Amino acid sequence: MLAGLVTHLPSLTNPFVFDDMDSIVGNPDVRTIWPPTWLMAEHHGSVVTRPLSNLTLAVNYSLSGTDPTGFRVFNIALHLLNGALLLVVLRRAFSGERLAPLFGPRAG
């Protein structure tokens, strides 16, 4: 997780690039969380029409407007949270108790 944080920190001051302009700045569906226009988003240029992606963009937009730094911080936090969740899942899946029947009591 530290590697993810270190590699993403330099991007905090970067501007929006490529499809960010259409997906965030020019996307009317992410400007409000309620009513949930992001749920049934229409195709605006290269904007994705995935509801969960649009929900996270709407949350980001409500917190920081069109400031790219807010989007970067939110996404770094989301990635770190997902990394921690993956670690928990993998530890539980490969714990010694679960592997012992397959590989003996010294597994894990």
Residue 46 lies inside a defined structural domain of this protein: yes
The predicted-structure confidence for 24-61, as pLDDT tens digits, reads as follows 888 888 888 888 776 776 655 545 677 888 888 889 99
Residue 14 lies inside a defined structural domain of this protein: yes
Percent of the chain with pLDDT over 90: 19
Q: Which of the two residues, 22 and 62, has the higher pLDDT score? A: 62
Residue 108 lies inside a defined structural domain of this protein: no
Angstrom distance (rounded) from CA 66 to CA 36: 19
Residue 88 lies inside a defined structural domain of this protein: yes
State the residue range of the domain holding 34.
Answer: 2-103
Residue 86 lies inside a defined structural domain of this protein: yes
Angstrom distance (rounded) from CA 75 to CA 98: 34
pTM: 0.70
Q: Provide the domain count of the chain.
A: 1
Angstrom distance (rounded) from CA 57 to CA 34: 13
Angstrom distance (rounded) from CA 79 to CA 75: 6
